[in-house]
Amino acid sequence: MSLTRSGWCQLLEFGLLAASFVPDLAVRELREFTRRRRTLVRERAQEANRLHKTLQDTGIKLDGVASDLLGVSGRLMLDALLAGEQNPEVLAQLAKGRMRVKIPALEEALEGRFTAAHRLLIGGILRHIDFLDAEIAALEAAIEAHIQADREREETERPFELAVAIACSMDGIQKRTAQALIGEFGTDMTRFPSDKHFASWAAQCPGNHQSAGKRRSGKTRKGPKHLDSALHDAAMGAIRVKDGYFARKYRRIKARAGHKIAIGAIKHAILIALYHMLKNGEMYRPPTPNPEAEQKARQRTTKRLIAQLERVGHSVTPAEGATG
């Protein structure tokens, strides 16, 4: 049943609506800085892709030899092309450092037809990338200054600085991702009665669609998209840490439920861990391995796999110690 505007007003008048989460001014400013930085980084990646596409049209395969077109060597060659130099041997000699061992391959890759139209397009792309680099650097400085100002204002607690350090102590979370996370929900976890409320606010928990006593769907609802993006970055970094807790959890869930659900579980686990770490002011400590729980998990996996084989007509007898 949907309510009219007057119905919502009546609920608000009687105090039956929960207050929205509105962080303080310092957190909102940090949020705007980190969101703007993410937008600019995404735009820069798009421009880099356009550069690759335009170079492909020229027949120049520089990206097949240089791992980074916008590195020192690649940028020198591109600037020389814009200046009118098209001799592959001359262009290849602009390589620096370890790229110089690839000069023969560079000479072959730099063969192409670089027209005036390509010069106009690539020149515009490079100028835009330079502009975006300057804007991103300015935002980085603004974020650092904002955190510094917060430290000077709260000399004893240092909420932003400490919170970023706490987030960075987790597996795979880098400084940029930590700043983005803190910018989305701040440092004060007392606003949320429990970690379940926190996960529900962030929309990082199963849905609750029920009708007539039956559960229809457990699909996660849509939540703050910027927070979801930052959590996704954190989760992707965490599962790449070899033998880390989140990596093991991801592999275990992915085996039975697939990548999407496994990443969702890691995002939820990271969020819950951040809630308790920020609330208690503690750095990340990986959970202590529990041999008994691991043994039970292996036994469940063995039973599940045996049942699958028996359903397709196989007879399985586990070897002694296979479940232990």
Q: For the chain, what are the domain ranges?
A: 25-153, 159-204+219-290, 291-324
What pLDDT, on the 0 to 100 scale, is given for residue 156? 43
Please list the residues that pair with 215 across neighbouring strands. 210
Burial class (CB in 10 A: 0-12, 13-18, 19+), 140: middle
Q: Looking at the whole model, is its pTM more than 0.95?
A: no
Q: Would you state the CATH architecture of domain 25-153? A: Orthogonal Bundle (1.10)
User: In this predicted model, what pLDDT tens digit does every residue of 281-318 receive, in sequence order?
Assistant: 889 988 776 777 778 878 888 888 888 888 888 887 87
User: In this predicted model, what pLDDT tens digit does every residue of 145-161 receive, in sequence order?
Assistant: 998 876 665 554 568 88
